[in-house]
Each structure stands twice: as structure tokens, then as C-alpha cells.
Amino acid sequence: MKKYAYFPGCSLEKMALSYHKSSLETTRVLGVELEELEDWNCCGATTYFHLDEILANTLVARNLAIAEKQGLDFVAPCSACYKNAYFTNTYMKEDADLAEHINYALEADDLQLSGDLNVHHLIDVFANEVGPEEIKKKVTNPLKELRIAPYYGCQIVRPRKNGENVEDPQFFEELIRAMGANPIDFAYKTRCCGGSLLLTNRPAALDMIRHLLQNAQNSGADVIATACPLCQVNLEAYQTQVNEEFGTDFSTPVLYFTQLMGLALGIAPKKLGIGSELVSTLPVLSQFLKKEAR
């Protein structure tokens, strides 16, 4: 059983509890162990970077150093946390001066970081570490004919990390096929959800959310699948406001990919946090909500 140091991040503690639960449930069935990083701190999302770059990298480095001490690779389910962790880890190798500053600060907590560990987004564990073929073998409740919009958002694919396809990635679609469902052709799949603009420039954020919901609806999505707490909240919790603001009538459920994966793997909906949505999933999911538990 492959084991990872799992960094839930602040939003998963409560706001995205269903993501947390469904991540642990699905990986368990797939034979992957996520061990929560001990005594982790907030990685600063995008906000620290407004203030001081060395500090921002140090906060991220502390979490990475704890994983390195445990001898495990690092996994983050939140795209912003993942992007921060990925780049700080890379800079440790590329920028000796920055690395020295960071390690000096980490000493205050008896830690140090070499940057030798691998950093993954949770979806990468499913798409590349386990792989769609293995997942398919474990699917007992295929989500037949469910049309799922694969919403990548920004930071899983951008900035470019390792020569990957940033314009038209396909790994999310493959995971959706592995669930037995249909990935729809979603043109805006890597367009930004507005991120934290919702707090700082609401008109801009609502406009960005509206564009995404419109594109998903036009493409015939039954449900939007996300891999990031911020994307999920922006797309789901603000649908009412978008509707009020623009006179639209969106009611598209937005679920974490792990929740949909969990259903396909035959896990009981309750264990996946299904039922705490603001936009009801019942109309589209009812036929897949089987009670018998795995």
C-alpha cells in the first residue's frame, strides 16, 4: 500500500469537509494510504505572496519539511496549496540563497528541507499514481450516462510545471471515463473561477463564475466536478447571487471528483459527504445513490 503525507489545508477542516471525507474513503478503497501531516500550518494560499516572498515560501517549506522528516511524498487536495508546495519544493533545488534563508528559519522548529520529496495534487494520485485502469477494476456502481464537466481550474495545470499540456489536459476526462460516466466537452475547463476575488472584487468574480456556469450548462453538464475547495465554493455557493445579478436560472450541482469517484466505487453517499450541498444533487444523482456500503 503506497503511503503519502497528506496536507488537508485550512479549508478542508470544515468548509470542504466532504472533500476530506471522500478523499480518505476513495483512497482507502484504492489501496492508497493518506497519513495526515502532523502539526501542519496554513500555506497562505495566494495571500502571503502579497507580502513577502521568502516568508511565503518558508510557511510552505515547514509543511514540506515535516513530510520529508516522515520520509513520505507530499499530497495536497487544494489546488492553491498544491501550487505553493510544488514551487517552493522546486525553488529549494534551484535557488541556493532562498534555500539557505528558509532553512535558517526552519531551524527554529527543528526542521530542514532538502527539496528531495515529490509533491502531488490529490487528483494526480488518482490519475497517474493509481491510474484509470486500476480504478476501473474497482468500480461497482458505474455512473452510466452521467454527463460530468471536468473542471480543472487554474493551478493544477498552471503555471506549467513539467512540460505538461496546459491548454487541453485530458487526465480528468480519463478519470471520469473510469467512473463509467461521460466527460463532456467543456471549453472553459481551465478558465479561472475568480479565486479569492470574490472577497476583494465581487463584480469581477461573479462575472467569472457566471461565464463558467453558462459554458457548463451550454455544454450539457449534469454536474460539475472540481478538484479544489475554492473552485467548489465559488461555483456552488454563489449560484443564487449569480442568478440574482444576471437574471439567470442556474442550478448545476458542483461536487468534488472524489465524491463522484466514491459513488462509482460503491461507497455509501453519507461517507462521501453527499447531502450537504447547497445546490441539490438529487435530480441528477438519485439513481446512483445506493445505500449498501463498501
Partner 1 sequence: MADKPTFSQEISNLMYAAHGSPLNECIQCGTCSGSCPAVEFMDQTPRRLIGMINADLKEDVIDTNTYWVCASCYQCTVRCPSRIDIAGAMYAVKRYSMWNKTYADDLVGPVFSETFMKTIARSGRSYEPILAPTYIFGFGAKEFFQEVQGATKMMLKGRIPVLPPRIKRLKNFQNMIKRIIPMGDEE
Of 79 and 182, CB closest to partner 1: 79
Does 52 engage in binding with partner 1 (CB under 8 A)?
Answer: yes
Does 60 engage in binding with partner 1 (CB under 8 A)?
Answer: no
Whole-number minimum distance, CB 158 to partner 1, in Å?
Answer: 4
Of 278 and 293, CB closest to partner 1: 278
Does 291 engage in binding with partner 1 (CB under 8 A)?
Answer: no
- Please write down the HEC assignment for all residues of 165-192: CCCCCCHHHHHHHHCCCEECCCCCCCCC
Return the range that interacts with partner 1 (CB under 8 A); candidates 96-104, 171-179, 213-221, 249-257. 96-104
Of 177 and 211, CB closest to partner 1: 211
Whole-number minimum distance, CB 133 to partner 1, in Å?
Answer: 29
Does 254 engage in binding with partner 1 (CB under 8 A)?
Answer: no
Task: Tell me which residue has cell 487554474.
Answer: 154
CA neighbor of 36 nearest in space, from 18, 19, 24:
24
Does 248 engage in binding with partner 1 (CB under 8 A)?
Answer: no
Of 143 and 198, CB closest to partner 1: 198
Return the range that interacts with partner 1 (CB under 8 A); candidates 69-77, 156-164, 216-224, 246-254. 156-164
Q: What is the DSSP string of 191-259?
A: S---TTHHHH-HHHHHHHHHHHHHHHHHTT-SEEEES-HHHHHHHHHTHHHHHHHH-------EEEHHH
* Residue 97: CB atoms within 10 Å: 8
Amino acid at 256: Y
> In b/e form, how buried is each residue of 69-95, taking b as 16+ CB within 10 angstroms?
ebebbbbbbbbbbbbbbbbbbebbeee
Cα(217)–Cα(231) distance, integer angstroms: 17
Cα(207)–Cα(276) distance, integer angstroms: 25
Of 219 and 241, CB closest to partner 1: 241
Q: N- to C-terminal Cα distance for the chain?
A: 18
Of 49 and 218, CB closest to partner 1: 49
Amino acid at 66: I
- Which one of residues 69, 70, 95, 112 is an interface residue with partner 1 (CB under 8 A)? 95
Binding site for partner 1 (CB under 8 A): 10, 13-17, 39-42, 44-55, 57-59, 62, 87, 91, 94-95, 98, 101, 104-110, 154-155, 158-160, 166, 190-192, 194-197, 199-205, 207-208, 211, 233, 237-238, 240-241, 276, 278
